[in-house]
Amino acid sequence: MTTTAGCLSGIAGVTAVGYTATGVTDPGSIITVATPIMNQGTNPGCSTNWLSEINGSTTITFSQPVDYVGFVWGTPDSYNSFSIYDGATLLGSYTGNGIGLNSYENFFAIGGQNFTSVVFSNPATCCFETAGFSYQLASASSIPEPSTVFLPTIAGGAWLISRRLRRRSR
């Protein structure tokens, strides 16, 4: 987890999600938000709508794996928790301890992990406020296609064999 200043991610290539009084707007169309979702007006520090969890949890599920999520943690409290999952496997859980007011929190997958869902939890009466949620689809660019690894190996092996056969025939 890293913290950056401001109300937006600051990470290139992310998809920003908006909160409205009736739900969530996702230009990437890959998230599903489990109720309850509470909107408590506008975050005065960021001029955006809040998603606020009161005495329960809100789960955001991704229909495609992502390798980054971020959000403004409005008023962090020690009893707020944010958890990240890959399927049923808990990858990490964080509390509001030591997080500054209206700080943008960035969470990156490591070691080939992917995120399939995140959970905002708050067991107390009030509140886990978030704004400026964003995500990034998992990148497959670091994993070579089998054909890009295999074909050069075949071509190189064929060249080497042909060179040895030519030498024997001389």
The per-residue pLDDT for range 82-138, each reduced to its tens digit, is: 999 999 999 999 998 988 888 889 999 998 899 999 998 888 777 788 888 899 999
Q: Are residues 38 and 119 in the same domain?
A: yes
pLDDT above 90: percentage of residues in the chain: 24
- Between CA 150 and CA 155 the distance in angstroms is 9
H/E element, 82:
strand 81-86
What pLDDT digit, counting tens, does each position of 33-43 carry? Answer: 876 555 566 66
Nearest to 73 by CA among 36, 13, 114, 118: 118
Positive/negative CA dihedral, 46, 116, 11, 102: positive
Give me the chain's average pLDDT, please: 76
Mean pLDDT value of segment 159-164: 42
Number of domain units in the chain = 2
pLDDT at 100: 82
Q: What percent of the chain has pLDDT over 70?
A: 69
109 and 124 co-located in one domain:
yes
Contact by Cβ (8 Å): 83, 92 = yes
Residue 122 structure tokens: 């708050």
Judge if 168 and 129 occupy the same domain: no
Give yes or no: residues 34 and 112 share one domain.
yes
Same domain, 48 and 24: yes
Helices (H) and strands (E) in the chain, counts: 1, 14
Other beta carbons less than 10 A from residue 124's beta carbon: 12
Give the pLDDT confidence score for residue 26 in this predicted structure: 85
Q: Which domain holds residue 168?
A: 144-170
Domain co-membership, 106 together with 24: yes
